Amino acid sequence: MLSTRAAAGLSSLVFVAFCVTTPTLAQQKRKSGNEQMKLSAVANQEIELRSALSLDRNCDSYDMPRIAIIRAPKNGTVTEEFRERYSNFGPNNPRKICNDKKSKATYALYRATSGFQGVDRFTFAIVYYDGKTDVYDVEMTVWR
């Protein structure tokens, strides 16, 4: 999740200077299809589902990623919060220098409804500044 996408391989040199780009390098790796998550929670426990950040090469943030709730949980809530955390860009990413200090990240958090015990299911997405998304289907087992 925290590694970054490889740059698109561009074979032709004819138009390389002629670049329309969505700066995908700045973002988290995306997988094809919805990612399935199986998680557990205890009553009243805040569960960190995912966090995301988008930094440019100066470690400045693009517009913050946002959380979209596509299918809401029936027995809890998914909330969006902005918190500071360390990034962990890989050694081949020029943004690895950003790992030295904390950056603002968007968090998706889950909390079960008080008194609920059982399985809660929901779908949420991280929507990045360029409109691309990562979608997650969550099966949450809640213990009392």
Partner 1 sequence: MIRYFAIAAALAFAGQAEAQNQRHKWQRAAVGTQPIELVFATHIDMDCKSKGESRLVISQAPKNGLLTGSQHQGFSEFSGSYAKCEDRKVDGLRVVYAASPGFKGKDRFTFIVVYSDGETRRYDVEMTVY
Site for partner 1 in 73-112 (CB under 8 A): 94
Distance CA 88, CA 71 (A): 30
Q: How many CA atoms lie within 13 A of 11 on its CB side?
A: 0
Distance CA 105, CA 26 (A): 13
3-state secondary structure of 95: helix
CB of 94 to partner 1, least distance (A): 7
Closest CA to 6 of 26, 34, 35: 26
Position 35 contacts partner 1 (CB under 8 A): no
Of positions 47, 127, 138, 142, contacts partner 1 by CB under 8 A: 127
CB of 33 to partner 1, least distance (A): 8
Position 36 contacts partner 1 (CB under 8 A): no
Would you tell me which residues interact with partner 1 (CB under 8 A)? 5, 7-26, 30, 32, 34, 56-58, 62-63, 66-70, 94, 125, 127, 129-135
